[in-house]
Structure 1
């Protein structure tokens, strides 16, 4: 297992590469060009700027999260082909700096959804929180304004330029079914995967977060059956998964360790985090420790260890602890603690083989 840490770039992250370097076992930064609009071809000079920063601290650039998929591709519009061509060119450029995995998603409009970015917990920390009842009656624009309220720390998937046309986006998806979305994903993968194969880059789809429909929008990467269907759309070892335990695991019907054991050879990237799920459907992100949430992180790490996982992993969202001022979910302290918890389980399993 190769450990990474998500980093938003120079001047765009409260966490520095110098700090990340001091977390044991971190080999790669998980990065992206966050100022690039979905559908744009990434310029080589900007890619090389990130490489220069990473090289200074001995990090590789093996994992990109994300090269965002333009909505026209998800909608299956005639304009999708030009955006797919840009995507192919970006893949070719990323290969030149050693990228091995591209994490992406196929969620309409919203990449992820929470109703509170700083929910206070019993121990005084705050965390990302999803309140099911609020989604049924909240205006989506209210959420957009809330999540985009800090222009200095933009949230991935909630970029203001993308969501300023929210009304038009909802109208565009009004008659799009889940089967339509499946067909559009198949078309995208049929175009992209051959280029990924040539450039030795695995395309690793992230599950829907949360794994159910929101605001009536279609969602198709929500369950074990969805993962199995997705891998068959283009049966290639380069058509892979980003198995996010917290995203797909927020539905208690999803057995995350079982999915890892079933799809292990097609998991290119592991997001490991815990959530506490409440009976009413709410959930909050907790520390990584198994007893603090509803997911068995010990068994999740064990499932990866059983088949000798050699792909990439990162601690996913952390709480905000010790008064850290940071991008919601992406501070230094709790994610560093998460890494050490994951390594503790992994190292113990190594010694007891």
Structure 2
């Protein structure tokens, strides 16, 4: 549970620190501007009076160049532009989305850990004051909504799967596109391994995102999590829940009331869908998140590009063996997202499913800058393909 008072204190402290930093930057810019103006006026007066020598004029001009360099260096301008964009997005665009999406929605926040607490506080307050309790009636309504979204995905047009020859570069792109849904939700690039431009503010954002959303702070934790998703993940969890004769068989004596309720919701989900899909169908949910972690880890320098390509290659083979189209991959992702929300007891599942379905629709139909899935057909069943670069 969050200590709201502590959150508010830390949030205020972060806001005050940001304001001080901005004021200091503005004051520095003002002083630099005034100094430049004084130098220009002095040089002009000297020229008119004929009192300046050529060397002094050159020195004054050099001073002006240095001042301009301080004001308009590429690094400073990039930092200022990025900061302005962060503030604009965080204040005007992301607060409502974070509250609607829950924990996953907070991934789009653009500040450090202290300011992330503001989003956490908003989400917590929204859940306490607005979100209805996830009772069994609402749970059944969520199943109905999930069916609507699955039907929406199933109607999408998609190119027929094709066989990727050995060494086909589309294997590499296919692996990157397995991260498509999360990338789309976070406005990440999908045209290569890098998720964003390599500037300090974006690297800090991604590091904070991975640490806050996954509890991952470095290479070891990253690889352990990817390994878990690739080998166990929700596929194993759904299998265990589906094979259990009752939710009580999954509970432990130490489980509290909330944990028991979570187990019951997960058990009902697995029983509801086990004859229609089976646990292996959730491989898309596991693989999609693992692919995103591989790209984030490569961007942060925790793993090399060669390692990331090797991971994506293995994930690609796993996805292609179990699923047969981007539509199935998207449906798998919605099912996994639904189970995750049920286990968490998060009643915002309706809006979350809507975001996932919309992202998949854009990736397959080409709305806006989308259509990346459509441009890379699903690989037809075959185990031979792209060999990762070493």
TM category (shorter chain) comes to under 0.3
Q: RCO (CA 8 Å, sep 6+): is it higher in 1 or 2? A: 2
TM-score with structure 1 setting the length: 0.27
Which one has a bigger Cα radius of gyration? Answer: 2
TM-score with structure 2 setting the length: 0.25
Between structures 1 and 2, the one with greater helix share = 2
Between structures 1 and 2, the one with greater strand share = 1
